[in-house]
Amino acid sequence: MSDVNLQRRVKRHIQAPEHDFFAVTAPGLEDLCAAELANLGAAQTTSLAGGVAFHGRLEAMLQANLWLRTAGRVLMRLADFRVRTWADLTRQAAAVPWELLLPADGSSLDVRVSLHESNLHHAGRVAEEIFWAAAKAMERQGLTAPVKALPGQDDALILQVRGVDRRASISLDTSGAHLHKRGYRQATAKAPLRETLAAALLMLCGYDGSRPLLDPMCGAGTLAIEAALMARALPPGLGRDFAFQRLAFHRPAAWAHLQKTAAANALAVPPAPIFAGDRLKSGLELAQANAARAGVAQSIQWGQADFFERPAPTATAGLVVINPPYGKRLGSVSQAEQIVRRIGRHLAEHYRGWRCGVVLYLPQWAELLGLEQIASLEVPHGGLKVTMFCGQVAG
């Protein structure tokens, strides 16, 4: 097939129509992600277990990868079908227009399979069927077929195959590296909060940049950095690479325009001050280095200080966000509980009228903080279940 004919088919069948997409999230973050997608103008958003389904043209997928703060991946649904026998799987896989999707450069392809009470009982065979359907389709068009990814290969394109009961779906990962990998956090402290969870805590607290923010135990600086990105309306995906840039339907000019528009509309400084501190100089330097890579080091006011020895940084009540040490990861459970008690006492003395967002190892510890109007969210973090709380410090 000529390049001209191929490009015409890409435009007609991939670039022009609308598609179904799925934003993958950590359990508990689905509704926050759905709200993000709604703000981006995505159509037909539906929260499901493990993510949010949405609909739109390719620009909706580009915007999702660029802007979503709580999602881990954005999948493009290629097929969703009823499956009773292997013949159903092979027929559906063969019907996918692989030559319009995959690059003709012999890229590595990783087929990942998840089966739950499915009629398809052998994940390895499913992966083989899907891979060879894609490879043969490319070869029939005179294009270079993909090669199988090696175990642990980071740069491979990813196909996600999911079988549940009598249905199966085939999806193409458009993100590549997990979306929490913004690219700025090359130096980490102990038990750092994943970027997507930091953004989720800020959203849970209703942070919009209009009020002062303090992260007094900043560690790697993730909470303060995510706050600065949000306050300045900077997309978390600006400046990083995505899998969709390697796909056959990618339009570099359209992607460059979205990035340029986002950068032009960003604020030069946050509307209200953002403060970050740590009692250790080494921790503070680590956070500042990460903030510099994120391009927001000058948007944050840094200070080496012990939270329990400092008053509120401003007379205007704002939001204080804390990811304190907690049991099983840093210190003992009893030590973690004592820290939460100290936080509650310090908030009551110096932060009346402020809102407080905090990550707690045990949900019952929330009562130790003395907060009112509490909102909460249970999320996985570092192999544990933790609870994020936000409430008003009694004043």
Decide: 162 and 171 in contact? Cβ < 8 Å.
Answer: yes
Neighbouring CB atoms inside 10 A of 45's CB total 19
3-state secondary structure of 200: helix
d(CA 245, CA 176): 10
3-173 shares its CATH topology with 195-232+267-393? no
**pLDDT recorded at residue 361:** 86
Query: Hey, what are 139's tokens?
Result: 């070869």
What percentage of the chain carries pLDDT values higher than 90? 85
Decide: 191 and 251 in contact? Cβ < 8 Å.
Answer: no
Mean pLDDT of the chain: 93
The mean-pLDDT minimum among 16-20, 205-209, 234-238, 369-373 falls in: 369-373
Q: Provide mean pLDDT across the span 9-25.
A: 96
The CATH architecture one would assign to domain 195-232+267-393 is 3-Layer(aba) Sandwich (3.40)
Topology of domain 3-173 in CATH is VC0802-like (3.30.2130)
Decide: 374 and 328 in contact? Cβ < 8 Å.
Answer: no
Query: Hey, what are 229's tokens?
Result: 């990105």
- DSSP 8-state assignment for residue 14: I
Q: What is the pLDDT of residues 33-63, one digit of tens each?
A: 999 999 999 999 999 999 999 999 999 999 9
Please report, to the nearest 10 degrees, the dihedral formed by the alpha carbons of residues 388, 217, 286, 188 taken in order: -30
d(CA 323, CA 299): 20
What percentage of the chain carries pLDDT values higher than 70? 97
Q: Provide mean pLDDT across the span 227-241.
A: 96
Query: What residue spans define the domains of the chain?
Result: 3-173, 195-232+267-393
Per-residue pLDDT at 66 exceeds 90: yes
pLDDT band at 283 (very low <50, low <70, confident <90, very high): confident
